[in-house]
Every structure is written in structure tokens, then in C-alpha cells.
Amino acid sequence: MNSIYGNIINGVEEKEGEKLEVRSPVDGSLIGYIINSSRETVERAIQASRNAFDKFYISSDIKSRQKLIEKLADIVQEKADLYSELESKNTGKTIRQSTFMDIPVAISHIRYFAETNEFQFQRKITHPEYPGTEGIIQNAPMGVVASIAPWNVPFLMAVWKIIPPVLAGNAVVIKPSHYTPLTAMELVKDIKTAGFPDGLVNLINGTGKSTGNYLIESDNIDMISFTGSTSTGSMVMQKAAKNIKKVTLELGGKSPNIVFSDADLDHAAKGIIFGIFLNSGQLCESASRLIVEESITQTFLSKIEGHLNAFKSGNPMDFDTDISAITIPEQREKIEVMIEKTVRAGGKVFYSKKMEGMPDKGIYFPPTLISGIKAGSEISDEEIFGPVLTVYPFRTEEEAISLANDTKYGLAAGIWSSDVKRAGRVASMINAGTVWINEYHLLSAAAPRGGFKKSGIGRELGLEGILEYTQTRHIFYGNNESGMSDVAYSILIKSQ
């Protein structure tokens, strides 16, 4: 019998309501069902978070919260193999990636927030206009945060969408993707086991069109944290504006990797492959544009092809499989259509990895390299979100920078060069929130992550990511020792 994955409200899993199928992209098998939450259910979850927030913020401090977060990290660590299996089964990413990257990185991020001393709730200031007075600047929590996560990296996203806001003193209602809810649900259950108050973190399942909109439109939400496509992020922002909600948006990307001729080409080739083919390119910051110095283009592409030829396709649940599945069928269809349009417009598919051994009913697309692309074409401008690398030769540093910035997105970029000064100079000219030099896709919990331009608003991770979940309060302590307030008051009030 297939499982029913319900909503978790006030620490209790509720399984009543309209049911939606959850299938594995690995082999098309039915994993179970989720509940497509109604507006009434969403509002109950929000109210549960509101009630918990009112008690939690008053009764806790950052140290007590960090103790709970540390306990959660220990619990998740003990269950790491289970999390890895659920993540790969639900998303189609290779079990090797889940076991050695996604789950360990997420656990390390939980531990970072349990241990960081960067975040201080308040600081003292003096008022230069009023000698003898001082003030306190406080970072107060927003209240109840609606966290809406995407389908591509569900466990890491659940960690990012829950732990920083809770550390800052907030309550959270999280809505995982209706395609990939399994590890987020497991995390919320473990949050209860770790001793967090019931209702502080509630989880509601359902589609974005129904449940997600109910959450965004609610008057009882104080802030929305959304990760997803740029088009959906724009709609979230419009809806949030109706009742002046704070939003953070981590959206699409069209990230470039710039390779100069003086780079360590063997290392760079591995980095370019990792940058685009990890998770079959289904990462917001996937480096889908290779901008390579013309004099080394053929040599460098040959190195990439050599590595791709050695890729082993097969069942992602096998540890020797290198290629992840495409998580949802709609995404594979989008990739196919974009490539068909590109070829009709004159683009050349000069490499496509033959795939064998995958389960028949799974969702797969081969690693692909494309050249001959015209500026302004759809595949050059729009996010592919798949295992497709487009190639652009350049001759000068200025041309490389221009090509890199010729996009409406600005999430991430990579630069490969043995000239560290030049790499740093170019990095400072790239319109992106993260720029890796001689590396790619290496995430640090201490480093703020987010985008320029249409890649989003706000940051996740690091001190900046914690502060996003706060609002600033100034408390003025006056004593009139200097007599300045009497001077000010005399503008309106005459001496008696």
C-alpha cells in the first residue's frame, strides 16, 4: 500500500483531503500521495505558527535556539542514509550525489547555524546630535515566515528555508514542492523530535497554483521566502505587494563559466562539467554558458568530451551511475523543445551522450553540448535547467566580460585563470551574486547567496541570510543631561 504524506500542523500529521500522486523520476513508480491543502488548512497552519511564535520568541534566546538546532543536526546525521535514499528516489539525482554532497552539505549548514556567533540581536549606538543619550538597535524577528521551496534540491532548500528564520526567532510555514516533499517532511518530523515547540514549524503540501497561492495571499503571513523560477517569483512579488509583505526571492540563472587560455585546463574541464552536469543541470546556479578563449576552444572541448564519454548512465539508485534523472516530465519536455528550436535556428548539437541502462519509465536527458548560437536566441537568453552546455568563444577580456553579463540573470559565475589578479579583476566586473575563481558549485553556509538583476532579491546563508528574517527597531534612551531636548521642545512649548 502506498503511503500518504500529509500536512504537519502543531506536530501532528494530518492525512485528510484531496490526494495527489508522487512518482519517482527514477522509474516512474508511484511513491505515494500528498494532500493538496485547502485555504482553511493553510490558515490553520499559519495560526499554529503564530501561536507558537508568540511564546517562542519571548521564552527563547539565540543560545537556546542553537542548542535545539545542534540536536537536530545530530538526529539528521544519524539518519543520513535514509535522507539520501529518500532524496534520490524522490528527485532522481544519483544516490552518490545525495550521499556525498546534498545531505552532508545540508547537515554542515545546520551545524553552522547552530554554532555561528556572527548574529547578534542588538548593538548600542550614541546619538551625536544629543550628547549623553544612547540607543539600542535591535534585529527583531519578522513573525511568521512562509517558506516556499522548489523541487530540485528539496532537502537543502528545506534547511535553508527553516533554520535561519527559526534562529532569528521566527515561526515558519513551509511548503515543499508537490513533486519532491519527502525529505522536507522527514526534517519537520525530526524538528519535533529535537524538541522544538509544536507549531513553530508547520508543513503544508499542495500545488503552487492552489496551496502556494493561499499561503502567499494570506493576510496573516509576515514574510515570504521563495525559491523558484523568475516568472513565478514576479507573481509572488505582485501578490505580496497587495498587503506589503517582505519578500526574498532566489530565482533563475544563466550562469557563465569564463575559461582563459592560461587556466589549468584539466582542472577547469572538471569544473565546467561539475558546474553544468551536476544534478543534470537542474540547479539555479548551473553554469550553462561556457565562455572560452578562442585559441584553446577545440583543445578544451576535447577534454570535456573525454570526461563525458566516460560517464556511466543507468539507474540513479546505483552508486556507479553518474547521470541524474530529470525530476519532472514537464522539465524534460521544455529542454527538448528548446533544443529543437535552437537546431532549427542554426545551432549545432556537436555532442550528445548516448544513454543506456536506465529504467524504462524514468525521466532522462543526455548530457549535451551546443555551439553556433546567435545572441538573443531563446537558448542563449532563457534558463534551460537541464544538462545542456552552450559554447561561446571570445578573444579579449572585455569581450568575455560582455558575454558573461549579456543576460537578464545574475545568480552566479565562474572564472578560470592562473592569473589571480586578472581573475579577481574580472570577477568584480561580473554582475552576479556569487563568483567562483578556479572552482564551481562549492557552497559555504557562511557566504551569502543570491542574485543580481532578475535572479532575485535578498540573500540566503551567512549573516546576511539571517538578517533577512529580521526587521530593525531603534530604542532611544534619553536623559536630557545636555539640555538638548529642552531646546527642541521649546520650538513648540514655551517656558512657564
**pLDDT tens, 418-475?**
999 999 999 999 999 999 999 999 999 999 999 999 999 999 999 999 999 999 999 9
Mean per-residue pLDDT, 209-229: 97
pLDDT in the model for residue 169: 97
> 209 Cβ partners below 8 Å, 6+ apart?
none
- pLDDT (tens digit, 9 = 90+) per residue, 161-192? 999 999 999 999 999 999 999 999 999 999 99
Measure the CA–CA gap between 283 and 328, rounded to whole angstroms.
Answer: 14
Tell me, rounded to whole angstroms, the distance of Cα 155 from its chain centroid: 10
Asked if 85 is an active-site residue, the reply is no
pLDDT in the model for residue 393: 97
3-state helix, strand, coil in the chain (%, to 5): 40, 20, 40
Contact between residue 71 and residue 193 where contact means Cβ atoms under 8 Å apart: no
With cut-offs at 50, 70 and 90, classify the pLDDT of residue 132. Answer: confident
Residue type (1 letter), 313: S
pLDDT in the model for residue 182: 98
Domains of the chain: 3-251+455-475 (3.40.605.10), 256-437 (3.40.309.10)
pLDDT for 375 beyond 90:
no
pLDDT in the model for residue 329: 97
User: Residue 49: which of 190, 146, 140 has the closest Cα?
Assistant: 146
Cell 534585529 belongs to: 139
Mean per-residue pLDDT, 290-299: 98
Catalytic one of 87, 186, 250, 285: 250
- pLDDT (tens digit, 9 = 90+) per residue, 71-81? 999 999 999 99
Question: Model-level pTM?
Answer: 0.96
Contact between residue 216 and residue 224 where contact means Cβ atoms under 8 Å apart: yes
Asked if 305 is an active-site residue, the reply is no
Mean per-residue pLDDT, 17-33: 97
Catalytic one of 186, 284, 293, 383: 284
pLDDT in the model for residue 482: 79
- How distant, in Å, are the alpha carbons of 19, 142, 201, 295, 477 from that of 22? 10, 33, 23, 49, 57
| Burial group, residue 21, by CB count within 10 angstroms (0-12, 13-18, 19+) | exposed
Strand partners, 259: 292, 416
Strand partners, 368: 352, 388
Residue type (1 letter), 278: L
pLDDT in the model for residue 333: 97
